Structure 1
Amino acid sequence: MVLDIWKEIKKKQFAPIYVLYGMESFLINETKQLLIKHVLEEDESDFNLSTYDLEETPIEVALEDAETFPFMGERRLIFLNNPGFLTAEKTKDKVEHNLSKLEQYIQEPAPYSIIVFVGPYEKLDERKKLTKELKRKGSIIEAKKLNEQELKGWIKERAKMNTVQIDEDAIELMLTLAGTNLFMLTSEVDKLALYAHDQKRINSEMVEKLVSRSLEQNIFTLVDKIVHRKIDESLRIYYDLLKQNEEPIKILAIISGQFRLIYQVKELARRGYGQQQIAGYLKVHPFRVKLAAGQAKSFEDEELTYIMKMLADADYQLKTGGMNKEMLIEMFLFRLQRKTMLV
Structure 2
Amino acid sequence: MYEEILKEFRNKNLKSIYFLTGDEDYMIDKLVSVAEENIIGPEERDFNLEIFYGKESSCRQFTDACRQHPFVGNRKLVIVKEAQEIKDWDNILNYINSPSSICTLIIAFKNKKPDGRSNWVKLLKQKAVYFESKALSDYQIPAFVKNLASEYKIKIEDQAIQLVSDHIGNNLAHIENELEKIRLVVNPKETLTIELVSKYIGISKEYNVFELCRAISFKDRKKIYLIMNNISQNMKSNPLLLMVGNLFNHFVKIWMAKHYVSKSDAELQALLKIPFASFLKEYREAAKIYSHSELENIISLLKEYDLRSKGVRSENTTQEENFKELILKICLN
Name the TM tier (shorter chain).
Answer: 0.5 to 0.7
User: 1:319 is matched with which residue?
Assistant: 315
Partner amino acid, structure 2, of 1:222 = L
Give the 3 Å change call, closer, same or farther, for CA 12–232 of structure 1 in structure 2: same
Q: Distance in 2 between matches of 1:166 and 1:312?
A: 35
Shift in alpha-carbon separation, 1:268–1:58, aligned structure 2, 3 A: farther
| SS in structure 1 of the partner of residue 187 of structure 2 | coil
Shift of 1:75: 4.0
Give how far 1:74 is off: 4.9
CA shift for structure 1 position 114 = 1.9
Report if the CA contact (8 A) 2:67-2:103 is conserved: yes
Equivalences for residues 330-341 of structure 1 within 5 A: 330=324, 333=327, 337=331, 339=332
- After superposition, residues 141-152 of structure 1 pair within 5 angstroms as 141-146=131-136
- Give yes or no for contact 2:81–2:107 (8 Å, CA) kept in 1: yes
Structure 2 segments unaligned to the other structure (5+ residues): 261-266
In structure 1, the partner of 2:36 is 36
Q: Could you tell me how far apart the structure 1 residues matched to 2:140 and 2:81 are?
A: 26
2:90 to 76, 82, 98: 98
Within-5 A mapping of 1:82-121 = 95-99=87-91, 102-120=92-110
* 2:163 pairs with 1:162: no
Q: 1:202 to 1:238 in 2, by over 3 A?
A: closer
Q: Scaled by the length of structure 2, what TM-score is found?
A: 0.67
Q: Deviations over 1:76-134 (max 9, x none)?
A: 432334656xxxxxxx76x34434xx232223322343211222378776666544543
Structure 1 residues 178 and 262: alpha-carbon distance in aligned structure 2, compared to 1, 3 A threshold: closer
Alpha-carbon shift at residue 13 of structure 1 (Å): 1.9
The one-letter code sitting in structure 2 at the alignment partner of 1:109 is P
**Equivalent in the alignment of 2:173:** 183
Aligned residues of 1:20 and 1:143 also touching (Cα < 8 A): yes
> Partner residue of 2:221?
231
In 2: Cα distance, 1:26 partner to 1:59 partner: 24
Whether the aligned pair in 2 keeps the contact of 1:76 and 1:114 (CA below 8 Å) is yes
* Residue number in structure 2 paired with 1:21: 21
Measure, in 2, the Cα distance between the counterparts of 1:221 and 1:14.
45
Counterpart secondary structure, 2:208: helix
Question: C-alpha distance in 1, partners of 2:94/2:228?
Answer: 62
Matches within 5 A, 1:1-343: 1-42=1-42, 45=45, 48-53=49-54, 57-71=57-71, 74-81=74-81, 95-99=87-91, 102-120=92-110, 130-131=120-121, 133-146=123-136, 154-167=144-157, 170-199=160-189, 201-202=191-192, 206-207=196-197, 209-213=199-203, 218-219=208-209, 221-244=211-234, 246=236, 251=240, 254-257=242-245, 294=283, 297=287, 299-304=290-295, 307=298, 319-320=315-316, 329-330=323-324, 333=327, 337=331, 339=332
Is contact 2:156–2:192 with CA below 8 Å preserved after alignment?
A: yes
Where structure 1 has 5 or more consecutive residues not aligned to the other structure, the ranges are: 85-91, 280-285
Percent identity of equivalent pairs: 20
Counterparts of 1:259 and 1:83 in 2: how far apart (Å)?
39
Secondary structure, aligned partner of 1:42: coil
Residues in 1 aligned to 2:66 and 2:43: alpha-carbon distance in whole angstroms:
19
TM-score between the two structures when normalised by the length of structure 1: 0.66
Which AA in structure 1 matches 2:178?
A: E
Judging changes above 3 Å, is the alpha-carbon distance between structure 1 residues 213 and 184 closer, same or farther for their aligned structure 2 residues?
A: farther
Matches of 2:122 and 2:316, distance apart in 1 = 56
Residue 319 of structure 1 aligns to which amino acid in structure 2? E
